Structure 1
Amino acid sequence: MTSIDTTADARGAILDEAHIGDIHGALGTIRRDDVGARDGWRARLMTLLAILGPGLIVMVGDNDAGAFGTYTQAGQNYGTTLLWTLPLLIPVLYVNQEMVLRLGAVTGVGHARLILERFGKFWGAFSVIDLFLLNALTIVTEFIGISLALEYLGLPREIGIVAAAALIVGAASTGSFQRFERFALMLVFGSFLLIPVLLWSHPPVAQIAHDLATPAFPAGAKLGDVMLLVIAIVGTTVAPWQLFFQQSYVIDKRVTPRFMRYARVDLWLGIVIVIVGAVAMMSFAAAAFAGRPEFGTFQDAAAVAAGLEKHAGRIAGVCFAVALLDACVIGASAVSLSTAYAIGDVLSLNHSLHRKPSEAKAFYVVYVGLIFLAAILVLTPGTPLGLLTNAVQTLAGVLLPSATVFLLLLCNDRAVLGPWINGRWVNLFTSIVVAALVLLSVVLTAAVLFPDLGDGAILGILGGGSALAVVAALAFVISRRRSGAEEAVDRSLQASWRMPALDTLPPARLTPATRFWMAVLRAYLVLAGGLVLIRIIHLAISG
C-alpha cells in the first residue's frame, strides 16, 4: 500500500488514501482547500446539503424489513399501546450515533479497527466475526422482505429478487461515492410513502398522542410476549451494524471535525424520519386490524399490506409494499457496506466507494458476496427463512451490549478522541443505556433458552437487573473520576484535532474495574451466544 502522510491536520490515522480529498456529497461538493467561514444562511445551507447523507442513510436503513415486521406486529397485535417505547429510544439513537460520528470524523479509522488496536486481538476478531454473521443473516431478512413485497404486488419473485440484488450491487460498484449516495438518498425519500398510508388509514390521533406519552402494557397480554416484542423494538431500532456503518461512511465521505455541527443536523433529520416512520407503521397497522378477526394474529408484512388494502384501499396496500421494497434495498446496501468497511479496515485493505472494483477487490467481493448469498438462500426451496429471521433478532439482542460497551470506552479514550471525549453526563446516560441493554439481553436469552419462562421470573430478572444496572452505571462514572480520567478537557482545539497514526498511540488506559467487567462481558457473550446458537441449530434440525 502506498505510504501516506499522517500529519494530524491533514490525514491523522486514515488507512486508505481514498478517504482524503474533496467531499462529493449527493447534494453538493466541498473542496478540501475550502476552509473559509460559513457566513450567512445560504452558505450554511449549501454546506449542510453537501454533508447530508450519513445520518439519513443509517437511520432510514434501520427501518428495514425487520423494522417493518416488528412495528406492524406491535400495531396489529396490541394496537398503539407500545408507541411509548419509540420516544424513549430517541436519546439512545442520538447519543450512540453521535459518538460514532465523532469517532469517524476525528480518527479516520473504522470501529472494528479501533477495537482491535485498543482492546486486543480477541475483541477485534470477535467484533468482526459477530458483525459478519449477524449482518449476513440480516441481509437474508432484507431479501425475505423483498420477496413478500413482490408477492403482494403480483410481480415474479425470482426475477424480482435477482433484479434487486443486481441493483444493490450496481449502485455501489461504479467507483463514485457521489453516485451511490444519490441512489441511497432517493431510497430515503421513498420511505416517505409511509406518510400517506398513515393518513389514508384514518388512525385515532388522540389515542396515538396518549400512547406516545404514557408507558403501559396491553391489558390482558402475557408479559413474556410483550417483553420480547419490546426487546425486538429496541433491537430493530438500535442495531449493531449502525455503529460500524456510520463511522466508516463518515470517513469515506471525508467528513472532518470542522463539519461536526452539520453532521449532527443530518443525524437528527435521520432520527426524525425513522421515528415518524415507526410511529406510522405501528399506528396504521393498529387502525387496519382493530376490531377485525386478524387482530392479535400477526403473520408477516404481506398480510399487513392485504389488511391495509381491505381497510384503506388498494393504493394504501401498494404504497406500503413499495415502501417495504424500498426499505429492504437501502437496508441491504447499508448492512453489506458496514461489513465490507469493517473487514477492509481491520485488514488495512482498500475499502472505499471512491474506488472502482479493480482497485478494491476484497472490499467489493465481501459486499457483492453477501448480497448474492442472501438472494440465493431466499430463492432456495426449503431454506428455514422464519428461523433465520428469529435468529437475527435473538443474536442482535445478545450482541448489542458489547458493541455499545466498546463505543463508550473508545469515546473516553483520550489518545483516540483528545478534546472530543465524552463529558460526564453523556457517560452517565450511556452507562445506564449499556446496563439496560445487558438486562434486556439477559431476558431475551433466558426466554429463548426457556420458552416456558413465567412472568414472575421475567419480573425478577428485570427488578434485580435494574438495581444492578444503576449500581454499575454509577460505579463506572465514579471510577473514572477517582482515576483522574475526567480531568478538565480543553475543547478549544476541537476544530483542528485529529487522532495521530495508530502506531504512535500510547496503550489504552483501563482501570481494574473496567478490566473486570470486560471479562464478565466476555464470559456472558461466549455463554449466551453459544447457548442461543445451539438452540437455533436444535430448532433447525428438529424442524
Structure 2
Amino acid sequence: MTDLSAKVAKDQSNVLAKGPFQRLLRTIGPGFITGASDDDPSGIGTYSQAGAQLGFSISWTLLFTFPLMAAIQEIAARLGRTTGRGISGNLCRHYPVSLSWFVVTLVFVANVVNIGADLSAMGDALKLLVGGPSSLYVVLFGAICISAIVFLNYSRYVTVLKWTTLSLFAYVGALFLAHVPWGEAASGILIPSISWNETFFTTLLAILGTTISPYLFFWQASEEVEEQQLDPKAKPLRWAPWQASPAFSRIRADTLMGMAFSNLIAIAIVITSAATLHKAGVTDIGSSTDAAKALEPVAGRFAFVIFAAGIIGTGLLAVPVLAGSAAYAVGEAFRWPVGLERRPKEAVAFYATLASAGALGMGIMFTPIDPIKALYWSAVINGVCAVPVMAVMMQMTHRREIMGEFPVQGWLRALGWLSTLVMSLCVLGLVLQWVL
C-alpha cells in the first residue's frame, strides 16, 4: 500500500511539473530577463521625456518597434545557442581584430555611460523617498549590483533577476491612476504621426536606442551560451542539429514574451507621461523631482512613490545586465574564461572587467550632470552605437562557416535588416537635422 501511495504521489508530481505554470517558468529565460532589463532607468527617463514632449502622438513607435526588437534579439540568441559563443567570441574568430575591437569599444563605452546614468537616477530616486546624499546612494547601489552578480550563484542570481522584473508593474499601476483619455491614447498608438523636426528625430532615436540597445544583444547571446553549458545534455547546435527545433521554439517564445512585456511597460510609461506631464504643459523633464511633482497633483503622492520606486527596482535589474554584457564583450574578445557560472577565481579578468564597468559608471556620475538628461542622452548614444553592431551581427549570422546548418534566413533575416535600416535612418535623420 505504501509503495502504491508513493507511486501515485510521484505520478501527481510529474503531472504538476508538466502543468502550464511550470512550463511557463521553464520557458522564461534570457529573453524575458533581457526584455525586462530593457526598461531600465534610462528607458523610463526616455519614455517619460517622450510622452512629456510629444504626448500620445509618439506612442505608435513602440508598437512599430516590437517586431523589430523581437527579431534582432532572437537573432542574437540563435547566434549564441548555435555556436556556443557570444557575439564577441564569434567576432574575434571570424573577423579582423580591428573590427572586433571597434565593436567592443563602442559597447563598453555605451554601457559605462548607461550604468552611470542609471545609478545616478537610482540615487536621486532614493533621495526623493528618504532624503540624504544621493552620491552615497550611487555608491551603495553600485556596490550592491556588482556584488550580487559577482558573488551569487548563477542559478540563484537568475532567479533574483526574474523576481526583480515585478518592479515594472508599478508603471501599470501609475497608468490607471492617470485619468487617461483612452480614445486619444489609442489613436496615438495605432495611427503613426511624424514631425520633421530635431525634437522628433532625437526622441525617436532615443526610443529606438533604449528599446534596441547593443548591450541587450550581447547579454542574450552570452546567456544562451550560459544556459546551454549548464545543461549537460545540451550542445551548441552546430554540433547537435537534432536539438535545434525545440531550442529555437523555446528561444522564440522566451524572446517574444520578453519583448512584449518590455513594450507594454514602455507604452504604459509614455501614456502616463502624456496624460499628466504633457497635458499639464510640462514638456521638458529636468529631473525626477520635476516628474514627481507634475504627477502628484493628478494621481496623488502614490504616483511620486511609484516613479521613484520603479527607477530603483528597474535599476537593480539593469545595472548588473549592463556590467555583465560589457564583461562578456571584452572577455570573449580577449578569449578569457568568461561566464557567470564560473567562480570569481576561475575567471578573474572577466569579473575584474565587470567590476570596472560598474566602478567607471559610478565615477562618471560624480559630475554636475542632470540624471534625467543623462538617461535620455545615453539612449541616443546607444542608438548610434547599435547601427554598426547590428550590421555586423546580421552579416555574421548568415555565414554558414559560423552558423553551420542554421544561418538566419527568410522573414527573420528580413526583419533583422529592416531593424538595422530603421535605426540607420533615424541616426541619419538626426545628423541631417543637426547639420541643416
Whether the TM-score (by the shorter chain) exceeds 0.5 is: yes
What's the secondary structure of 2:59's corresponding residue?
helix
Q: Is it true that 1:413 corresponds to 2:386 in the alignment?
A: no
Name which of 108, 129, 132 aligns with 1:153.
129
Tell me the amino acid that sits aligned with residue 208 of structure 1: A
Q: Is contact 2:37–2:317 with CA below 8 Å preserved after alignment?
A: yes
Q: Paired residue for 1:195?
A: 172
Q: Paired residue for 2:203?
A: 229
**Distance apart, 1:98 and its partner CA:** 0.6
Q: Is contact 1:111–1:244 with CA below 8 Å preserved after alignment?
A: yes
Check 1:445–1:390 CA distance in 2 against 1; reply closer, same or farther (3 A cut): farther
Q: Distance in 1 between matches of 2:179 and 2:257?
A: 26
**Distance apart, 1:412 and its partner CA:** 0.8
Name which of 413, 424, 428 aligns with 2:414.
428
Q: Paired residue for 2:341?
A: 354
Q: Is it true that 1:239 corresponds to 2:227 in the alignment?
A: no
**Deviation string for 1:325-375 (max 9, x for gaps)?**
111221211111001112221222221111221221111111112212222
Within a 5 Å distance, the mapping from 1:26-425 to structure 2 comes to 42=18, 46-156=22-132, 157-174=134-151, 176-217=153-194, 223-254=197-228, 256=234, 257=244, 258-292=246-280, 294-378=281-365, 380-382=366-368, 389=375, 392-425=378-411
Structure 2 residues not aligned, in runs of 5+ = 1-13, 235-243
Q: Distance in 2 between matches of 1:105 and 1:45?
A: 25
- Aligned residue pairs total 408
Q: Is contact 1:55–1:270 with CA below 8 Å preserved after alignment?
A: yes
Check 1:43–1:346 CA distance in 2 against 1; reply closer, same or farther (3 A cut): farther
Q: Is contact 1:62–1:242 with CA below 8 Å preserved after alignment?
A: yes
Tell me the amino acid that sits aligned with residue 321 of structure 2: A
Tell me the amino acid that sits aligned with residue 92 of structure 2: L
Q: Is contact 1:152–1:306 with CA below 8 Å preserved after alignment?
A: no
The Cα RMSD (Å) is 2.4
**Deviation string for 1:36-86 (max 9, x for gaps)?**
xx9999267535423422112111111112211111112112211111111
What's the secondary structure of 1:73's corresponding residue?
helix
Q: Is contact 1:78–1:286 with CA below 8 Å preserved after alignment?
A: yes
**Deviation string for 1:374-423 (max 9, x for gaps)?**
22332x35468678556534432322111111121122111222232122
Q: Is contact 2:120–2:371 with CA below 8 Å preserved after alignment?
A: yes
Write 1 or 2 for the structure with the bigger share of helix: 2
Q: Distance in 2 between matches of 1:400 and 1:351?
A: 23
- After TM superposition, the score normalised by the length of structure 1 is 0.71
Q: Is contact 2:46–2:379 with CA below 8 Å preserved after alignment?
A: no
Q: Is contact 1:171–1:183 with CA below 8 Å preserved after alignment?
A: no
Q: Distance in 2 between matches of 1:175 and 1:291?
A: 45
Q: Distance in 2 between matches of 1:175 and 1:209?
A: 43
Q: Paired residue for 2:6?
A: none
Tell me the amino acid that sits aligned with residue 185 of structure 2: I
Check 1:322–1:182 CA distance in 2 against 1; reply closer, same or farther (3 A cut): same
**Deviation string for 1:475-500 (max 9, x for gaps)?**
xxxxxxxxxxxxxxxxxxxxxxxxxx
What's the secondary structure of 1:233's corresponding residue?
helix
Q: Paired residue for 2:9?
A: none
Q: Is contact 1:70–1:233 with CA below 8 Å preserved after alignment?
A: yes
Q: Distance in 2 between matches of 1:394 and 1:291?
A: 25
Q: Distance in 1 between matches of 2:135 and 2:322?
A: 22
| Rg larger in structure | 1
Structure with larger RCO (C-alpha < 8 A, sep 6+):
2
Q: Paired residue for 1:487?
A: none
Check 1:244–1:388 CA distance in 2 against 1; reply closer, same or farther (3 A cut): same
What's the secondary structure of 1:216's corresponding residue?
coil
Identical columns (%): 23
Q: Is contact 1:100–1:407 with CA below 8 Å preserved after alignment?
A: yes
What's the secondary structure of 1:79's corresponding residue?
helix
- After TM superposition, the score normalised by the length of structure 2 is 0.87
Q: Distance in 2 between matches of 1:121 and 1:101?
A: 23
Q: Is contact 1:175–1:357 with CA below 8 Å preserved after alignment?
A: no
Q: Distance in 1 between matches of 2:60 and 2:368?
A: 38
Tell me the amino acid that sits aligned with residue 273 of structure 2: A
What's the secondary structure of 2:127's corresponding residue?
helix
Check 1:159–1:269 CA distance in 2 against 1; reply closer, same or farther (3 A cut): same
Tell me the amino acid that sits aligned with residue 52 of structure 2: Q
**Distance apart, 1:200 and its partner CA:** 1.1
Check 1:381–1:91 CA distance in 2 against 1; reply closer, same or farther (3 A cut): closer
Check 1:346–1:210 CA distance in 2 against 1; reply closer, same or farther (3 A cut): same
Moved more, 254-263 or 87-96: 254-263
